Amino acid sequence: MMPFLDKLQRWADDRPDDTAVVVGGKRLNWADLRDAATLRLGETAATTILAEPNSLDFVVAYTAAVAGERRCAVLDPLWPHAMIDEVTGRMRQTGPATGLHHGEGDQLTDGDPDSTFLIGLTSGTTSVPKAFTRSRRSWQVSFDASIEFFGLTPEDRTLAPGPLAASLNLYALSECLYAGRPSIPWRPSTSAMSTRPSLTTASPALSSCLRCCAS
């Protein structure tokens, strides 16, 4: 299973009208997120490359991009266009890790736990970014551990300040979809605290900046 689609189906059935994601003041409930991602599956390839700013459409595309045994690479949209093109070209040359199996193309379901769902990339500040992969099982284990350690519940609201291209923020979004609590990927054009988060996922440096702004 995993990384979170089995859980998304559950939240959409049990709490269809509750908020799943908030980006820039716009919201998607659980049922709408599931339905929008399902509709996107027909045009979603075995490997998806996302290089977009934070938006609800990004969340929908990412959700569809990890269905079945698909895999997704998330690139920083602020990278130079030449770098984005080079990384995209290299990934297309390698081809998908697996093809789409019969019957999985139109189903919003999780793939094999040991299959790759995410292609991560280093910052790329001095050279072409280096790729690394994550399996569905690896994030499931981390989700379960952090939910238990922090005592997280569906009533919590998680703010992830910064681009979803950052692996920490993408992880926070995925963990929220798994745990059934609202995720708030922040956009600079909106007030971070206006959404009243109960939990913030951020690097130590960014956490310090947020505390200074709030004080």
| pLDDT at residue 97, rounded to an integer | 45
List the pLDDT tens digit at each of the 215 positions of the chain: 457 999 999 999 999 999 999 998 899 999 999 999 999 999 999 999 999 999 999 999 999 999 999 999 999 999 999 999 999 998 887 665 445 554 556 789 999 999 999 998 876 556 788 888 999 999 999 999 999 998 888 888 888 788 899 888 999 999 999 999 999 876 544 554 555 666 666 555 555 555 555 55
| pLDDT at residue 48, rounded to an integer | 96
Give yes or no for a contact between 116 and 97, defined as CB atoms under 8 angstroms apart. Answer: yes
| pLDDT at residue 130, rounded to an integer | 84
List of residues 6+ apart from 147 with CB closer than 8 A: 175, 179
| pLDDT at residue 161, rounded to an integer | 80
| pLDDT at residue 127, rounded to an integer | 74
Q: How far is CA 28 from CA 20, 46, 57, 62, 203, in A?
A: 6, 25, 10, 14, 26
Question: How far is 109 from 3, CA to CA, in rounded Å?
Answer: 10
DSSP 68-103: BT-EEEE--TTS-HHHHHHHHHHHHHH--SS-PPTT
Q: What is the pTM of this model?
A: 0.85
What domains can you pick out in the chain, each with its CATH number?
Answer: 5-214 (3.40.50.12780)
| pLDDT at residue 22, rounded to an integer | 93
